[in-house]
């Protein structure tokens, strides 16, 4: 896989949008590669985009292991961003992630496909919020 930033207009605009928000957002390309995340997302992920680089879908799935709230592992194909990419529909779930800095974080994740035409996927925007453990 090419390790440079994706150049499609929808992803360029999504990156600009994300960079100007306080909501943690990650941008994935049409193949599921993590191509950008904003500064608020850095605080949750534990690294900057420059430190992490572009990660293929396989790489980020391996790096950010997840489980359901009851402790059962979530299959890669059931991750919100993967479902949004495969089924071209928004999806939402609350999961426990182990991030690159080794912390376990409970995150509500919403993944939304970016369609450049009715059924042509340009990428995925993923918003996530950290939930406070009770």
Write the CATH number for 78: 3.30.450.20
Query: Is 3 contained in some domain?
Result: no
**Is this model's pTM higher than 0.75 or not?**
yes
Q: Name the pLDDT band for 82 (thresholds 50, 70, 90).
A: very high
What is the predicted pLDDT for the residue at 3? 45
User: Do 106 and 130 meet the contact criterion of CB atoms below 8 Å apart?
Assistant: yes
At 9-55, the pLDDT tens digits run 999 999 999 999 999 999 999 999 999 999 999 988 888 999 999 99
Question: Can you give the residue range of the structural domain that contains 76?
Answer: 9-130
d(CA 35, CA 4): 8
Q: Is residue 4 part of a domain?
A: no
Provide the pLDDT for residue 133. 62
d(CA 113, CA 105): 24
> What is the pLDDT averaged over residues 76-104?
92
Strand partners, 117: 120
Residue 1 lies in a domain: no
DSSP secondary structure code for residue 23 in this structure: S
Evaluate whether residue 16 is within a structural domain.
yes
Residue 116 domain-assigned (yes or no): yes
Domains contained in the chain, number: 1
- Identify whether 2 is part of a domain: no
Work out the angle at residue 73's Cα, subtended by the Cα atoms of residues 106 and 127, and round it to the nearest 5 degrees.
Answer: 40
The answer as to whether 62 is a domain residue is yes
């Amino acid at each position: 896989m090419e390790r440079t930033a994706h150049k499609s207009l929808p992803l360029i605009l999504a990156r600009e949008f994300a960079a100007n928000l306080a909501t943690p957002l990650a941008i994935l390309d049409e193949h599921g590669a993590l191509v950008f995340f904003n500064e608020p997302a850095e605080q949750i992920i534990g690294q900057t985009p420059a430190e992490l680089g572009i990660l293929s879908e396989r790489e980020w799935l391996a790096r950010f292991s997840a489980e359901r709230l009851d402790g059962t592992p979530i299959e890669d194909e059931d991750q919100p961003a993967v479902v949004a990419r495969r089924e071209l529909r928004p999806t939402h779930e609350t999961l426990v992630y182990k991030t690159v800095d080794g912390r376990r974080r409970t995150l509500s994740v919403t993944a939304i496909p970016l369609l450049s035409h009715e059924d042509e996927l340009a990428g995925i925007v993923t918003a996530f919020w950290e939930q406070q453990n009770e």
